[in-house]
Amino acid sequence: MKMLVLVPKVTGRVMYVFDLVLKQLLGIEYDLTTDAEQFKAFEEPKLHYGMQRLGDEPFVKAVDILFERHIHEQSFRTVEFEGTVAPYAVYGQGNLLPFDVFAASFFLVSRYEEYLSQVRDQYGRFRAESTWMFENGMLQKPLVNIWALALGNKLKSIYPNLDLKRTKFTFIPTYDVDAAWAYKCKGLYRTVGGFLKDLTSGDRERIRERHQVLRGKRKDPFDSFDFQFELQKEFKLKPIYFILCGDYDTNDKNISIRKPAFQALIKRLGDYADVGIHPSFSSYLDIDKLRMEIDNLSEVLHRPLTKSRQHFLRMNLPRSYQKLIELDISDDYTMGFASQAGFRAGIADTFRFYDLENDMVTNLRVHPFALMDGTMRDYLNLDVETSFNLATQLVDEVKAVGGTFIYLTHNETLGGEKRWVGWPEIYRQLLEYITKASEPAVPEANRRVEGPV
């Protein structure tokens, strides 16, 4: 059965966010109409999205953002709602929700605020601390999922026979290979330079370690790949590897893509998992350099690349995504913050990128990650136990809404040496927590609506 939705005007933004909230998250098939008489005569489930209610129909009061084409500073009131804070509060009798759920979802998922603020960190990245969600303590809540479920509950109470889908929690482990090895295959100049740097700093332990690794007496501290393969087999994981293969530079220090040993590793990873490009720091907004890196990695794998995640999570909206689309990348995994854990787009599900600059939906699918190892260790300065607690808290949030939890880690981290002592064990514990049979308690406000699938 299809729902009929009455709207004042059918726009690209309206179609985009209704597809996301109703169709993707709730599984509701629907048609849009601007004909009030057709809507009044319709006897199946229906929803009115507009400025003024017509009668006793289910009604969501609309604000202006979905009927505009330009980008401008947003002014809205917030409201507390079922353990969350929501923008675009609306007032009046008969509203299903005390805020415009479609406008609020569009504001977050489109990353509207990132087009407005010029505040950036030292790497040119939009700051997590500048987001509306962080300022309101909501960054660690998958708000769009929670709000969609609340809307679904309301509609289900009015139309008991309305079909709503159940979605299942999904976990996707991802690995960024910024540097395959700490010492191996660096070439003569980098190796000699490394020894000289260690001598200058007086780091005798590092000199000894480097020497033992190069002589084959000790395993390279970044070489955790066998451990990763064991975990993949044990927990039946389907990971994605993002390989940095740009030329050596200040912030790009992987092994040369021309090294046979690195090519062999890349092919081995490709046998076990999906592989995507990890565009270099220096390829930021440089489409020619990005094209070369994609071509080089594709040539090693002997297959086209469709997945990407920016090195340093260095992304500019919409230009970074526009360049990926131009180079036939269909899926991006950069949507997350380095300095804070949580949901950059307010959602724990994949979604299509909406290009606000051109006011159009694209075919690029965005896969937001919720947590990165470096966020906990380097930005938040958490110990391993506190990091584990944060990770499980986020997992519980995603499980409660039947979303997808994407975790970002590095081969260096899983080597478990120096600053990463204890992290391989914590990662294993996290995998056990994620895959355990018993589900965590689901908060009533976040509970997925039960109904026919």
pLDDT the model gives residue 82: 94
27-31, 43-47, 118-122, 440-444: range with lowest mean pLDDT: 440-444
Contact indicator for 357, 323 with CB cutoff of 8 Å? no
CA distance 366 to 111: 12
Three-class SS state of 271: helix
Residue 104: its H or E element? helix 101-109
Mean pLDDT of 361-378: 98
Q: How far apart are the first and last CA of the chain?
A: 12
pLDDT tens-digit series, residues 55-102: 999 999 999 999 999 999 999 999 999 999 999 999 988 999 999 999
pLDDT one-digit tens code per residue, 119-175: 899 999 999 999 999 999 999 999 999 999 999 999 999 999 999 998 899 999 999
Inter-residue contact 179 to 222 (CB < 8 Å): yes
Neighbours of 154 (CB within 10 A): 18
Question: Which tens digits make up the pLDDT trace of 226-271?
Answer: 999 999 999 999 999 999 999 999 999 999 999 999 999 999 999 9
Tokens of 399: 């499980």
Rounded distance, CA 89 to CA 76, Å? Answer: 7
Residues with Cβ < 8 Å from 203, sequence gap 6 or more?
Answer: none
**Burial of residue 45 (number of CB atoms within 10 Å: 0-12, 13-18, 19+):** buried
Please tell me the predicted confidence (pLDDT) of residue 449.
Answer: 41
Cβ(360)–Cβ(401) below 8 Å: no
**Whole-number pLDDT of residue 190:** 76
Q: With pLDDT > 90 as the criterion, what percentage of the chain qualifies?
A: 85
Name the average pLDDT for the chain: 93
